Structure 1
Amino acid sequence: MSSSSFSQIRSQALNSETQTEALLSKYSQISSQLSQSLEPSPEENTIKQQIKDILIKRETLLQKLNRISESSTQELSTSKIQQIQRHLQNLKDNEKTFNKIDQIIKEERDRNNLLFSVQSDISNHKRRNNPTENEEINQDSYILEESQRSDNLNSIANRLLQGAYQTRDELINQRNLLSNSNLNIMNNLQSIPGLNVLISKINSRKKRDTLILAVVIAVCILLLFFV
């Protein structure tokens, strides 16, 4: 039953990896077609959210595979252990690729926003210095331009916050992976016959040496007082 469950979940993991590669390819195409884009398109937001969702799904599938391997009454074959490690490495590689593409898109869009802001400032400066054109300025158009600039600044701040949240989530994920690794190591160590006895002897010897050292120091201090 455990082997059957392992195969089913691994099949889901393989399908998810294929879907991730396809979504990353689409997301990469968006990064090369930004041009003068100042705000994310609905398609971009959809693909980005799909990538985040499928990465979370793959992490959940890996956790299931690890639980099956830990609860299995029989020792897992080397090939299955290697399969789990390969899925984990693929997940890390896809996460790095996604973050890299996302960073490229952010930097390009920030550059476009900066260019738009500079062009807008230059245009406003020319209008202020030309009384004839200044009289022809439409007040509603000026308000819309200022509103656009404000929205652009807010958008940049939001993207910086999103980057901070993503960094925090990545650190949390790494901490969880390290915790799982430590737990697996401890379980493997406990399964080795006689290892616990050896560790207990080492700890007892350390305590004994510490006690002896404390007695020697106490005797030396007493001798210093009475001699």
Structure 2
Amino acid sequence: MTTYDRLHRQCRTLENLFDSKLTTYAQLAATLAQPEQDVEASGSSNRWKDLEQELDDLLLKLEEINEQLSTLASNPDILSASMLRTIQRHRELFQDNSRELNRTKTNIHAALDKASLLSGVRNDIDAYKSSAGESLLAERGRIDNSHRMTDDILAQAYETRSEFSRQRTSISSVNARMVGVINKMPGINNLVGMIKSRRRRDSIILGLLIGICTIIILSHFGLYSSMLLYVYPLF
């Protein structure tokens, strides 16, 4: 087997393998470009790296073989025209594969950047939602505390109003009793006046009785003295 035949077969084998892996790589790029695709969860993150490394290795081997074929083509005396066209075709295919790989790499990296950006945005949104949720819970707690304080103040106000009502009732009762006493005062004054009048009358009657008794006693004593003088005249 000549050198050309060996290099040609190696190049064809590598080109077919490269084409197969590049197709898989392009399909992976389309998968990563989907907005709803989770790169980390689907395992695509490691898969595209492995494929990219394999394609880079294959492209490097193809470049080496194409350089060897180009070296053979520099001596056209030992190669036929069809061989030279085949070598040219391998070179053109290598260039096409290089451009296609670079284009697919660019698409995949753009898709990964977009996915990373979307993931960052989702994380920011989740963090914001979490923070907003915590803020809402804290605000709700403050509102609940305010409601409890308001309820306590209202309860104290109701209790104070009830106490005022009880005091007002007590004051009204005292006022009623005072009014009743005041209304009864004229009768009491009249009673006291009657008692005083009766005492004065009793005092007068008692004085009269004492005077009369004194007069009677004195009268009897004077009469007794006169009788003694009459019975026992002075010598």
Q: How does 1:9-28 map to 2 (within 5 A)?
A: 9-28=7-26
Residue in structure 2 matched with residue 59 of structure 1 by the alignment: 63
Larger Rg: 2
Amino acid paired to 1:92: Q
Distance across 2 between alignment mates of 1:77 and 1:67: 14
- Structure 2 match to 1:41: 45
Q: Measure how far apart 1:92 and its partner are.
A: 0.8
Q: Is the 8 A contact 2:26 2:104 kept in 1?
A: yes
Q: Give the Å deviation of 1:69.
A: 3.0
Q: Is 1:91 the equivalent of 2:94?
A: yes
- 1:82-129 per-position Cα deviation (integer Å, ceiling 9, x unaligned): 111100100111111111111111111111111111122222233334
Provide the C-alpha distance between the structure 1 equivalents of 2:98 and 2:137, rounded to a whole number of angstroms.
Answer: 52
Q: Distance in 2 between matches of 1:75 and 1:23?
A: 34
Question: What is the CA distance between 1:11 and its match in structure 2?
Answer: 1.0
Any gaps of 5 or more consecutive residues in structure 2? 139-235
Moved over 6 A (4+): none
3-state SS, counterpart of residue 32 of structure 1: helix
Displacement of 1:10 after TM fit? 0.8
TM-score normalized by the length of structure 1: 0.52
Q: In the alignment, what sits opposite 2:81?
A: 78
Q: Which amino acid aligns with 1:52?
A: D
Partner of 2:116 in structure 1?
113
Give the aligned length.
132
What corresponds to 1:32 in structure 2? 30
Where does structure 1 lack aligned partners over 5 or more consecutive residues? 135-227
Partners of 2:44 and 2:12 in 1: CA distance: 30
Pairwise CA distance, 1:18: 0.6
Query: What RMSD over aligned residues (CA atoms) do the two structures have, in Å?
Result: 2.4
In 2, distance between residues paired with 1:45 and 1:119?
24
Q: Paired residue for 1:69, among 61, 70, 73?
A: 73
Identity of aligned residues (%): 24
1:19 Cα deviation after fit: 0.6
Cα displacement string for residues 175-209 of structure 1 (whole angstroms, at most 9, x for unaligned residues): xxxxxxxxxxxxxxxxxxxxxxxxxxxxxxxxxxx
SS in 2 for 1:33: helix
SS in structure 2 opposite 1:28?
A: helix
Q: Cα offset for 1:43?
A: 2.5
The corresponding residue for 2:107 is 104
Q: C-alpha separation between the residues in 1 aligned to 2:12 and 2:106? A: 26
Q: TM-score, normalised by structure 2?
A: 0.50
1 CA distance for matches of 2:95 and 2:102? 11
Q: Is the 8 A contact 2:22 2:101 kept in 1?
A: yes
1:50-76 CA-to-partner distances (Å, cap 9, x unmatched) read 11001110110011112223356x353
Q: How far did 1:47 drift?
A: 1.3
The one-letter code matched in structure 1 to 2:124 is D
